[in-house]
Structure 1
Amino acid sequence: MMGWPVLCLSVRQKQLLVIASLLLPSSAQRAFKISSTTCSLTADATSCQVASAGDAALQVAFTAGAATSLTLDMSSATTCSATGLFCPQVFMVNSDHSENTVKLSKCAFYKQADYSTHLLTYTFMNLGTAAFTVQDDHGVGRAVVPPGAIRECFCHCAGTCSTATNNRLYCLHISR
């Protein structure tokens, strides 16, 4: 009977309880090995290095001083290998321009397999001095990540996931 007080809460209180449960530390710990190299971008790019064994946090440095984009196709072997290597799930971005973008194409793929039966989670950290935007295959900003901030996005695919526009990111925008 430990859960019975939750039934007495208003809808708004239940929503706040769910948000708090996402933000507060829990008994499970997620750990992501940081890539040993940094993907440095001086111009628009469609690839970074494939993660080494154990890497799941990709370091990305925008260094052009101008609007630059990184578009990663999550179904491609150049982004996410089908072998035993991990795929990027955390993006540690050093942004130097407020019009930089990180775009995830076909975000419902993991190790070149359709994971439409799952919600895939992607986390974006801004270690830089300027905000950057997170996009999906719809080409619109799903999240703006200001310096020092973190945004978490969930990928959902409705329909055939090999059709890029069926993949969509839903991002948390928590303000304090």
Structure 2
Amino acid sequence: MHYHENIILIGMPGAGKSTVGVILAKSLGMQFIDTDILIQERAGRMLQEILDEDGPDAFKRIEKETILSLHPHRAVIATGGSVVCSGDAMAHLRSGGVVVYLKISYDEMEKRLKNITTRGILLLPGQSLREMYDERVPLYEKYADLTVACSGEDLESVVGNVIEAL
């Protein structure tokens, strides 16, 4: 079976991008990259600290710079939920691989994000979780080459479904 150069995982916070990504990379013998971890390394701070101290715009800028500096080969890349807000970052990622949208329902996301304050989730001032969800769904759909439904699925099934979809 032929795999694309890179596999880019996009989706809501809590969709399982990092967890699925690690298992996927192991299963396919690929490298694993988590852009949230790279952002933290680059900034020397936790995502939530960047958001609290510098605000959403600075966070988006660091996220975009981090992604544009990536030139991976045969990697599974787990992205932050807000990556789709940057057209430049998405164009860069798409040019090197296939974009897989791990899709979860709003209820599932809410259930999974029990502790939202420490997760480094990019909510604009005054924006509710619901508004963020509704705003991002069309963006994920726009950039996805493949969509894999993840609500109510265990990790192994999701990984299997992603491999099947590829």
TM-score (norm 2): 0.31
User: Larger relative contact order (C-alpha < 8 A, sep ≥ 6)?
Assistant: 2
Q: TM-score, normalised by structure 1?
A: 0.30
Which of the pair has more CA radius of gyration?
Answer: 1
The structure carrying a bigger helix percent of its residues is 2
